Homo-oligomer: A and B are copies of this chain.
């Protein structure tokens, strides 16, 4: 506390004051504040101000000083299949249909239930927290289990209520998926960390009738609708054959293109597709590493940005990436957008960081709550230690966060003010116990793997 504080000044007692070398609030854009502090009370950000002023104004119960760190909003992973952490590296370097039909789907049929989903999901949460992700948008079976896992771990999530025609242990047909979705929503007690989306799998696994039901649900519930869309050229071609129109056009005609739609992948787009998305105010979740690995194609990020479409960033599942490293993903996004557009000024560092934070929050309808460091928002924050020689010298911390940082440099993570990572160590999840619990599932999964040397 400053010795120069005038005697008798009334100081405000707060829970926590975090002081950092650099604070990147993300809103306003492209802003770097030096020697600033963020004041937290209960689960909220109540102030952001120069550290010298903060020390005169606030009497914190707890004080965290981050002298070599950048403090920024937590990363928002806009597309994940968390339980698939159990399948990381199970099968690689295959054609998409071979990968799905001969490896991933059989493994899911054999293994996926509430128990395995809980273990895989918690391992994924551990990985995401370690790398600075404070909120994830999930799309998988057993959403109630995923929500419970997220709450127990203290991370924020938007949990997809999956709808598809393919039978699984979760539901046997589209009607059963709807029933399960309804039941999950009704039975689950409100929790500030959990929101829900309706999650139709993809245009090729959901019928027009079901899309119509989803549109009606969307109109009533105003939940985000989270769908894989235009992932591959094959998907677009099949839609043209079966429906005589491209998937985006089909969803438009069915009334699904709304400001609540999160369209994941979007690698195969013509100008008409882009205009439809733009006019609807729908969101794109860009998963560059998965798109590259499966050779799905290149999402035209420069064009989407120019059209004013909100683009967020997601990792996809660990079976097709093969990590949930959002700093790595935003680096890939920032690099790839330049080459794809032929313009080295496309998606500069500050915009890439915004994509991975506030744009993700917008896509989930959570931008009043998270995605930037602003008074009144939830205290979802991360600190990144830039003192390591792999990020020295520091001319501009934003450049390093976009282009140089290693996710293991994330030192602290707070969600709703709760510290979930401290000096690089997880505070809640016991990963050794989780890996032990995973063992029998891993043994079962191994037989669905691609042939080894």
Contacts and interface: CB of A to CB of B under 8 A. Distances in A.
A25 to B, nearest CB: 11
Contacts of A435: 389, 392-393
A62 interface: no
B396 A449 contact: yes
A413 to B, nearest CB: 15
Given A344-B295, A389-B434, A89 B400 contact: yes
A427 interface: no
A344 B96 contact: yes
A343 B127 CA distance: 29
A395 B450 CA distance: 9
Contacts of A126: 389
B393 A431 contact: no
Interface string A412-453: 000000000000000000010011001000100110011011
Interface string A124-142: 0011001100000000000
A375 B46 CA distance: 64
A148 interface: no
A92 B349 contact: yes
A322 interface: yes
A290 to B, nearest CB: 9
Interface string A293-330: 11111100000000000000000001001110100100
Interface string A115-126: 000000001001
Nearest to A426: B389
Interface string A85-106: 0101110111110010000000
Given A339-B296, A446-B395, A431 B123 contact: no
Given A435-B392, A449-B396, A345 B93 contact: yes
A323 B395 contact: no
Interface string A156-189: 0000000000000000000000000000000000
Interface in A365-412: 389-396, 398-400, 402-404, 406-408
A446 B31 CA distance: 18
Contacts of A123: 389, 392
Given A344-B93, A403-B321, A289 B335 contact: yes
Given A89-B393, A93-B349, 8 more contacts: A92-B349, A126-B389, A131-B390, A323-B406, A392-B435, A393-B442, A396-B452, A406-B406
Closest 8 interchain pairs by CB? A93-B348, A292-B335, A89-B399, A295-B344, A322-B403, A393-B442, A322-B404, A295-B338
Interface of A: 30-32, 86, 88-90, 92-96, 99, 123, 126-127, 130-131, 289, 291-298, 318, 321-323, 325, 328, 332, 334-336, 338-339, 341-346, 348-350, 389-396, 398-400, 402-404, 406-408, 431, 434-435, 438, 442, 445-446, 449-450, 452-453
